[in-house]
Chains A and B, each alone.
Chain A
Amino acid sequence: MGSTLAARLARDRHDVVIVESDRERLQGLADDLDVQVVAGNGTAVEVLRQAGIEECDVLFACTSSDEANMVVALMGSALFKVPRVVARLRDRSHEASFAAIAQRLGGEHVCINPDQAAVEKILSLLPVPGAVDVVTFLDGRLIIAGFPIPAGSDFEGLLLSHLRLLFPSPPVLAVAIRRGEESFVPHGEDEFRAGDLAYFAIDPHELGNVLKLLGVRRGSEERVMIAGASRIGLELAQRLEARHEDVTLFEDDLAVAEAAAAQLKRTVVVRGQATDREVLEEEGVERASAFVACTDDSSLNVMACLLARRLGAARAFALVDNPALTRMVGELGIDAVVSPRLLTVGLAVQFVRRGRVRAAAALMEDLIELVEVEVESASRLVGPTLKELGLPRGTLVAALLRGKNLIVPAGGDRILVGDRALLIATTARAAELDAFVGGQ
């Protein structure tokens, strides 16, 4: 996670120092990224001092060990008075302990839990059938959902500007499109093509109509199958059964399965491998509204999802933390790939920018960026109409929340102080858009 985060922060023109004890990895990082590297163990005071921790604004502790992260983060805060520290913690009890200690130290402390982030992502995906990615903004008033445009659907060949005719109010807006290898923020003159992956900003009430036009059928009941009683699988099952949904959890290891069954109330815990066709069929995978593979093995997850889809599961989500695999998967027929690593990086970046930014997310493997900001009086966004504003190509003001009104602005609209704006940019243009928001 550390290297991905460093890459993101470096691209955002932050000064990044990485402390890493593995010299070989360190060399690789120094070669690939525009960052400073320090060899050594991050839990050592001397090493941290050498890395310049005294001048540091934000400290990220994101090794694979919860304990080490806690020590580093608390040390940074207690010994070096780092104003803002982030610890990557997976265990809930560690989070609680960390928060309890942090409370006595002063300064800002945040824990980021990759498993938690993955669970939230899957939970947001589940209620939007057909979507490969879902993010909510503006207090849940707006969802950004990505759908593949199927050949022969009403969207094929549709000009983006005509969306307004189809959905006059509340409007639906296409905010990002991926066509082949290319990802872009589209304009009114662009048209949808079959095979596109299109992200729409949708008022949740309008979701049904969009799905209908896309030809996505909504199942009557939710039957979720989860493969792997990992932390994520178990937590997901617990959250779903609390909502009274039908959940089946597959786990190959008997001891792990028994432990999961002990903790779950209504979920059916089945002992068997996620790729075991017989077991999947026995539990009725063909009637599953969603199949979520979240074992610790990314490749196994992909295999299980492919099998589940072949056997008739309506949707399949795979947990994949391997970037190379992530890019392949879309072409294989898996509906969505959830990467705890990328999600965590997203949360970390969000934390660095926090202040102006209320929420942020990245789409399409980090090529498109969404930020929700509260518009301040100093911002350059305030005043002129959107047309006059001259936002750079590849950026977009997707929606405004003014009081209780959700507005999808057109060229003649103005942004007012106090509005909450959802801004979209290709990552390359994100810094330019930031300048508009800040007003320098």
Chain B
Amino acid sequence: MNRRFDLHLLGWLLLVVAALLLVPLMAAVAFEDAPGPFVSALLLAGVAGGGLVALTPTKERSLRARDGFLVVSGAWAVTSAVGALPYLLSGSLGPVDALFESVSGFTTTGSTVIADVSALPRSLLLWRAMTQWLGGMGIILFTIAILPLLGIGGMQLFKAEVPGPVADKVRPRLAATARTLWGLYVGFTAAQWLALMLCGLSWFDALCHALTTLATGGFSTRNGSVGEFASPAVEWVVIAFMLAAGINFVLHYKALTGRWSDVVRDVELRYFLAVVGGAAVLLFAVLWDGGKGVHDTARAALFQTVSIVTTTGYVSADFELWPPAAQFLLVALMLFGGMSGSTGGGPKSLRILLALRSLRATVHRFIHPHAVVPVKYHGQVVSDGVLSGVAAFLTAYVLLAGGAAAVVTAAGYDFATGVSASLTAIGNVGPGLGAVGAMDNFSHFPAVVKLLLSACMLLGRLEIFTVLVLFSRQFWRH
């Protein structure tokens, strides 16, 4: 492990964040908000980053897999800490709340502790949306470049095991791959910004929602989320871009470069769309009572399904008024998540797909005890290493969710609140049920629960094991 260089990198990251704080700072000047908090945050981040870079001069610039765990976890922790400063220094939030909000931003979760979002200064709202957008950018780099190297939870599939359709690298070099995918990300954001403005939103609302949609974040500039605009057109645009953000960005690249056959044949995409379509139809069936029009009910069902499956977390209707079956469906959808290689959170559809196939193989083995039953993905046999990685990941996911839910209920909350709050945090979704429902926020939780949920958000976003290995004593040896 090259700890000196790890710190050096984190120092540079702080400098980048400091530079990015210039954007809300300029916005504060333009909107005539108080620029003080951003100036202080910028200076703090700049000094800390510059100091770290200066103190850790190093010629040894090679990184091993272990450095990857440390740098990635450190990156999200450090940026979240700096990102909390503007909330804290502006006096909008206390230290724990500020950290929660910042973590929720950088992990693209979208849970908030702010009761009246619309009362915040616009420069702060912009920063809040930016944290999600930057988090999404980080996640693209993380899933495409770093995750395969770490081999977490079966995601090494993207490294070498499946040639052809899912090969992660769209370009031979990593930096070029990241640039291409970031280009797509920026392009999609710009397209949505434009589309939302055409639907009648102000440039500011349109920008903030574009920033948080592509990151599958879900922070809104309104207390009532997307639903407050009461515009079917806006909802359709948001549905389309949420879906796009939940799809593997490599597939977007392939579609744009005309390799449609690869896209159409992609097994994970088909499965992902089947889950979305099936859940939306189910939800429609549960919600349909003849009262509202078919279009309104269908749109509400599709919006909420896509919002939860892609782990965006926007709300277009108060789903707590929906029948229990509908609410259950939404919580169940939190256990699916976006596609691998997307900005979506959750366990990822690839893992669920592999787990289901391995379940089928296991049942098959009971019927044919001597049979050789491989699990296949895109016609290739999936190695046992990948399958056990997937199993370990899902086990850790469920254990973590159960543990967090236990703590929330121990703090005096009901079952629905406990389970949904922990699932929404680990899955980076946003809203839950009960006390953290569509129209509620997380401010009423005690500080311990807020910190726990913040930790869950980080763990979930970084595929659990990236952070978990840091707690192993073995990791820190030599």
The finding on whether chains A and B are genuine partners in a shared complex, rather than unrelated, reads yes
Number of interface residues of A (CB under 8 A): 15
CB-based nearest A residue for B376: A262
Report yes or no: B370 in contact with A261, Cβ–Cβ below 8 A: no
Which of B369, B370, B374, B380 is within 8 Å of A258, CB to CB?
Answer: B374
User: Please, which residues of chain B bring their CB within 8 A of the CB of A302?
Assistant: none
A181 CB to nearest chain B CB (Å)? 43
The interface bits of chain A over 254-274 (1 if a CB of B lies within 8 angstroms of the residue's CB, else 0) are: 100110111000001111100
Does A283 touch B at the CB level, under 8 Å? Answer: yes
Q: How far is the CA of A162 from the CA of B373 in the complex (A)?
A: 54
Report yes or no: A268 in contact with B371, Cβ–Cβ below 8 A: yes
Does B372 touch A at the CB level, under 8 Å? Answer: yes
Report yes or no: B368 in contact with A261, Cβ–Cβ below 8 A: no
Does A32 touch B at the CB level, under 8 Å? Answer: no
Report yes or no: B368 in contact with A257, Cβ–Cβ below 8 A: no
B449 CB to nearest chain A CB (Å)? 48
Does B381 touch A at the CB level, under 8 Å? Answer: yes
CB-based nearest A residue for B374: A261
Report yes or no: B374 in contact with A271, Cβ–Cβ below 8 A: no
User: Please, which residues of chain B bring their CB within 8 A of the CB of A282?
Assistant: 368-370
User: Please, which residues of chain B bring their CB within 8 A of the CB of A272?
Assistant: 370
CB-based nearest B residue for A278: B370
Q: How far is the CA of A148 from the CA of B370 in the complex (A)?
A: 36
Number of interface residues of B (CB under 8 A): 11
Does A279 touch B at the CB level, under 8 Å? Answer: yes
Report yes or no: B381 in contact with A271, Cβ–Cβ below 8 A: no
Report yes or no: A271 in contact with B376, Cβ–Cβ below 8 A: no
Report yes or no: A271 in contact with B371, Cβ–Cβ below 8 A: yes
User: Please, which residues of chain A bring their CB within 8 A of the CB of B371?
Assistant: 268-271
Q: How far is the CA of A268 from the CA of B368 in the complex (A)?
A: 8
The interface bits of chain A over 281-306 (1 if a CB of B lies within 8 angstroms of the residue's CB, else 0) are: 01100000000000000000000000
Report yes or no: B372 in contact with A269, Cβ–Cβ below 8 A: yes
Interface residues of B in 352-400 (CB under 8 A from A): 364, 368-374, 376, 380-381
Task: Decide: A279 near B370, CB < 8 A? Known: A258-B381, A262-B380, A262-B381.
Answer: yes
Q: How far is the CA of A262 from the CA of B370 in the complex (A)?
A: 16
A234 CB to nearest chain B CB (Å)? 13
Report yes or no: B369 in contact with A257, Cβ–Cβ below 8 A: no
User: Please, which residues of chain B bring their CB within 8 A of the CB of A257?
Assistant: 372
Q: How far is the CA of A270 from the CA of B381 in the complex (A)?
A: 16
User: Please, which residues of chain A bring their CB within 8 A of the CB of B368?
Assistant: 268, 270, 282-283
Q: How far is the CA of A128 from the CA of B380 in the complex (A)?
A: 36
Report yes or no: B373 in contact with A261, Cβ–Cβ below 8 A: yes
Q: Which residues on A are within 8 Å of B, measured CB to CB?
A: 251, 254, 257-258, 260-262, 268-272, 279, 282-283
Known: A251-B372, A261-B372, A270-B368. 20 other contacts (CB 8 A): A254-B372, A258-B372, A258-B381, A261-B381, A262-B374, A262-B376, A262-B380, A262-B381, A268-B364, A268-B368, A269-B371, A269-B372, A269-B373, A270-B370, A271-B370, A271-B371, A271-B372, A279-B370, A282-B368, A283-B368
A–B pairs, 23, beta carbons within 8 Å: A251-B372, A254-B372, A258-B372, A258-B381, A261-B372, A261-B381, A262-B374, A262-B376, A262-B380, A262-B381, A268-B368, A269-B371, A270-B370, A270-B371, A270-B372, A271-B370, A271-B371, A271-B372, A272-B370, A279-B370, A282-B368, A283-B368, A283-B370
